[in-house]
Amino acid sequence: MHLFTRISRALRGMNAARLSRPPTTHSSFRPSDSEDERPLMLEVDEEKVRPVARPKTTPLPFKQLLVIVVVRITEPICYSLIFPFVNDMIEHVGITKDPQYVGYYSGLVEGTFAFAQFFTVLSWGRLSDRIGRRPVLLTGCFGLIFATILFGFARTFWAMVFARALSGALNGNVAVLKSSLGEITDKTNRARAFSLLPLTWSIGSVLAPIIGGFLARPVDNFPGLFGGFQLFMDFPYLLPCLAGASISLCGVVLGIFFLKETLHSKRKVSMEDKETEAEPASPESPETPVVPMSLVEPEMSIAQILKLPRVRAVLLNLSFLSLTTVSIEAIFVLYLYTPVPAGGLGFNQRQIGLTMSSQAVTSIAVNFLLFPPLTKRLGTTNLYLLCSGIHILVIILFPIIHHFAVVENQAAVFMGIAVMLFLRVSGGLVFPCNMVLVNVVAPSKGTLGTVNGLAQMVSSGARALGPALATTLFALTMTKNLLGGNLIWAFQLTLCIIWMWQGLDLRRHNFDDED
């Protein structure tokens, strides 16, 4: 009897222990002896189902952006205003009288700017990391003013080369401006801000051909207004250079009075800024918490930066991007100018200026309206690859449009040019994509000037080689009828395919997780 009683009690104890254990199911409700555990389980489950809030877009600092845009616009104006008249200028100063050989010399003159910039832009970027962005930017503007005016006074080939080289050597603004944008933006507004740089280039590209195409040879084109000016008789290409330098002077004035320093270690901090830095970061804030200015980031050497695989991948793609696009740009102007029997379309200076301005106007709308939403939808890397592929179609159109010019189908020529301009503008979205990628791969904000300097150095090297190589090959192709007059297009097509193949390497670095 006592044994039966003990066994019965043991069985009841085992049953009670089994019932007191939590169930093995994954239900959100569990029996518990403690009421304190139940809210904890509910909190965990709510956290699992709570939707992740998307970070709010940080407002852009429009006042600072406006000054940066005005300073930025000076370079494309001074760089591009010579394109409508440089071929005519080469013939005028007596370098050559044969239109078929103009391409040799114009390519050298156009490429000298980038060649000189190749050797100096990294130094400007490194200097901006030490002394600040503002003084370097203002120095670059002053250099553009002086060198642009000097080009207008050139009467020999070597004088033209020297002026363009000086313009490139004294100007490292593009790399420094990209660094400034990287310092005043975050991942929520970066695409919108960087779309302003190619947009600004496009605005400058609208103004530059108008200035260069309509103000060159003012005595011949506007005798009633400039017929009595001996200065413009002696220097028929000085007036557009003076006009371009005047716009640069406006950028200098705005920069002196309104441009703020963006390099954190060189910025003057107001009491309001100090209070902001002292406040803890808000949980909802999309930005990285502000680092106190007393904490200076350790400086990285160029060798250390180049050891980073992501940096190397972006720079390698940039080299092919720059070489391909700048070659197309140089060929395009020469292609428009060259007579139809020699392989071009035979446009005059005003037609060239209007064509380039039309392209720039379209580019303004595309960069400002399409780039941010396309980046958001496709991602920076995918949009980059799509735009690189568009350049293949652009290259194919060159011989097709020339065929229409040979058979004197002017309607087809202008229609083909319109299609080509639209494709070139669409493919041009690759530039803001690249700008975003360059800033994303910078190891820290203290290295933005160096990384952008390296990127601009690579770009300048390609821009120095590209025009001379492309225009020389164009001239050889047409004069020697190489590959039936199509060698230049075969070369450009091959170059573009290599660029696209290299671009596929960007996908494995997951840039879109950060931009």
Tens digits of pLDDT across the chain (515 residues) = 454 455 455 445 545 544 444 444 444 434 444 444 444 444 444 444 455 555 677 887 888 888 888 888 888 888 888 988 998 899 888 887 777 678 778 878 877 888 888 899 889 988 988 898 899 999 999 999 999 999 999 999 999 999 999 999 988 888 888 888 888 887 777 777 877 887 787 778 778 878 998 899 999 888 888 888 899 999 999 999 999 999 889 888 988 888 888 877 666 543 334 443 334 333 333 343 344 433 445 568 888 888 888 899 899 999 999 899 988 988 898 899 888 888 889 888 778 878 877 887 788 788 778 887 888 888 888 999 999 999 999 999 999 999 999 998 889 999 999 999 999 989 988 988 888 888 888 887 778 888 888 998 888 888 778 877 888 898 889 888 888 888 999 999 999 999 988 888 887 776 655 55
**Which CATH number does 62-260+307-513 carry?**
1.20.1250.20
CA distance 24 to 262: 58
Q: What is the DSSP string of 297-340?
A: PPPPPHHHHHTSHHHHHHHHHHHHHHHHHHHHHHHHHHHHHS-G
Q: Cα 282 to chain center, whole Å?
A: 32
Contact (Cβ atoms closer than 8 angstroms) between residue 129 and residue 449: yes
DSSP symbol at 154: -
Q: How far apart are the first and last CA of the chain?
A: 80
CA distance 17 to 10: 11
Contacts of 509 (CB under 8 A, 6+ apart): 309, 310, 313
Contact (Cβ atoms closer than 8 angstroms) between residue 435 and residue 387: no
CA distance 323 to 242: 30
CA distance 171 to 125: 11
Q: Cα 279 to chain center, whole Å?
A: 35
271: number of Cβ within 10 Å: 7
Q: Cα 19 to chain center, whole Å?
A: 68
Query: How buried is residue 309: exposed, middle or buried, by Cβ count under 10 Å (0-12/13-18/19+)?
Result: exposed
Q: b or e along 2-39 (b: 16 or more beta carbons within 10 Å of the residue's beta carbon)? A: eeeeeeeeeeeeeeeeeeeeeeeeeeeeeeeeeeeeee
Q: Which 3 state secondary structure label does DSSP give 217?
A: coil
All structural domains of the chain with their residue ranges = 62-260+307-513
Q: Cα 11 to chain center, whole Å?
A: 79
Contact (Cβ atoms closer than 8 angstroms) between residue 106 and residue 238: no
